[in-house]
Amino acid sequence: AQSVAQPEDQVNVAEGNPLTVKCTYSVSGNPYLFWYVQYPNRGLQFLLKYITGDNLVKGSYGFEAEFNKSQTSFHLKKPSALVSDSALYFCAVRDYSGTYKYIFGTGTRLKVLA
């Protein structure tokens, strides 16, 4: 069965420093991977996705993610964190059970300190 793991419940980073939010996956075929962000009191928003192609995927708000097949990872990164990046981040993978079902991780709360 497909699954994703987000090993960190919370990540703290100083404003201006690079940030990384970790995600590892387990799939039976080629992975379709996603990152979503949930700002306080707002719905989830799509950030970026990896379907195929370049291992480095660029998304919204200056975020990018690196697909690493050998390490089965899809870590979210940003070169310089902003206080406004503070939010809850979810990694997701598309299920291959025959339907367009998506499996989400437990989420990582990012706190950017001024």
List residues near another protein by CB under 8 A: 6, 9, 32, 34, 36, 42-46, 49, 51, 90, 92, 94, 97, 99-107
d(CA 81, CA 89): 14
Q: Which of 50, 46, 26, 25 is nearest to 36 (CA)?
A: 46
Q: How far is the CB of 7 from another protein (least distance, A)?
A: 13
Paired with 57 in beta bridges are: 65
Instruction: Name which of 20 and 104 has its Cβ closer to another protein.
Output: 104
Q: How far is the CB of 109 from another protein (least distance, A)?
A: 11
Instruction: Name which of 92 and 112 has its Cβ closer to another protein.
Output: 92
Q: How far is the CB of 16 from another protein (least distance, A)?
A: 29
Distance, CA of 82 to chain centre: 17
Instruction: Name which of 32 and 78 has its Cβ closer to another protein.
Output: 32
d(CA 114, CA 104): 29
Q: How far is the CB of 70 from another protein (least distance, A)?
A: 24
Burial (CB count <10 Å: 0-12, 13-18, 19+), residue 23:
buried
